[in-house]
A and B are shown apart, each in its own frame.
Chain A
Amino acid sequence: MTRAARALLAASPLLWLFVPLRQAVESRMALHMLVQLPLLLAAGWAAAAWWPRWPAAWAMRFDAQGLASATFASAVLAFWMIPAALDAALLAPAVATLKFLSWWLAGLLLPGDHRRLGAVPASFFLGKRPGCW
């Protein structure tokens, strides 16, 4: 992916400041789940290129082999599959903020996670066969 395309993707959360678009997407559960949420994840992933890396010692300690990042991404995915969570995001601005931040953060943590995720955790989270990396 070119740097410009990546920058565009990183800036895509700004789209949701355009209220009519946000309302149109969020009023349908399919668009909400299949367009907005993946786009937030992708925006976080794209933004990681400009985000300062964690100090390696921290990553080793809190996120050995990318396990904590992968657990976080799985937790975010699981939580926002609950229909009541999506509705709550429409009813309460605080929950909407949590939605935007959690998906974006999950995406932000992905690149490091992908590089570091060991063979066994990868087989668990991604269904990858150890040795196929």
Chain B
Amino acid sequence: MATTTATCLLVVALLLALTARLTHGFEAWTTEQGRRLDAIAGGLQAPPMTLRDAESHGRIVFDGADPAAPVTLLNFIYTRCVSICQTQGGESFRLQEALRAAGSGRVRLLSVSIDPAHDDAAALAAHARRHRADPALWAVTAPRSEAEGRRALRRLGVVSVPDGLGGFAHNGSLHLVDSTGRVRRIFDDAQGPQALAAALQLAEASSP
């Protein structure tokens, strides 16, 4: 019986250890809570990504090479999405207009596709047109390489799962990313005004 008790205790200890690791010490029971805690603690780094936009222009973001790089409000989209991304698009447009009104040259909006296989230049251009994206303020992009895109999602803990119907169940949060690629805060997509205020504050604080 003593061995059985020890086996049971071992199982319980393993359960507690795995749970503690998964939940940031029993603090974050959802992935989103965990990511947000990581971001606030400074432990969430966006990996460098090579992105292409509607004009097929390439750009490298989050590589930390340019200290004068803008503060970014980043979200993930896919252009065939008819649910959450349409709301996201509307929110991003409002954010774009608020950013224009704020007149800061140090904050940019960036939408990155989670479906680069489908989202070619034409699809990105159509999405940008539909949501009246101004390329000077809001870049609608896709990763150049699918593997790099997947790596970025994994690193940031952004869950996006194909739903078997050609679409994705995915995360619509807004990520506030500083010029070095570190994610400072994560906001719900409906928290645009708070996200923008935080972005402007960060840009102000980090301006040379």
Contacts and interface: CB of A to CB of B under 8 A. Distances in A.
Given A63-B4, A75-B14, A78-B15, A88 B22 contact: yes
Interface residues on B, range: 20 to 34
Interface of A: 20-21, 23-28, 61-65, 67-68, 71-72, 75, 78-79, 82-85, 87-88, 90-92
A75 B22 contact: no
Contacts of A28: 163, 169
Interface stretch (B40-48, B121-129, B138-146, B153-161): B153-161
A26 B30 CA distance: 16
A101 to B, nearest CB: 13
A63 B14 CA distance: 17
Given A20-B162, A83-B29, 9 more contacts: A23-B164, A24-B163, A71-B7, A71-B8, A82-B19, A83-B30, A83-B31, A84-B30, A88-B31
B59 to A, nearest CB: 26
Given A71-B11, A84-B22, A27 B157 contact: no
B161 A72 contact: no
A84 B15 contact: no
B83 interface: no
Contacts of A21: 164
B136 interface: no
Contacts of A62: 3-4, 7
Contact of B30 (A61, A78, A87, A90): A87
A85 B8 contact: no
B202 interface: no
A97 B140 CA distance: 35
Nearest 4 Cβ contacts at the A-B interface = A24-B164, A87-B31, A64-B4, A75-B15
Nearest to B153: A91
Interface in B132-181: 154, 157, 159, 161-165, 168-169
A64 B7 CA distance: 10
Contacts of B190: none
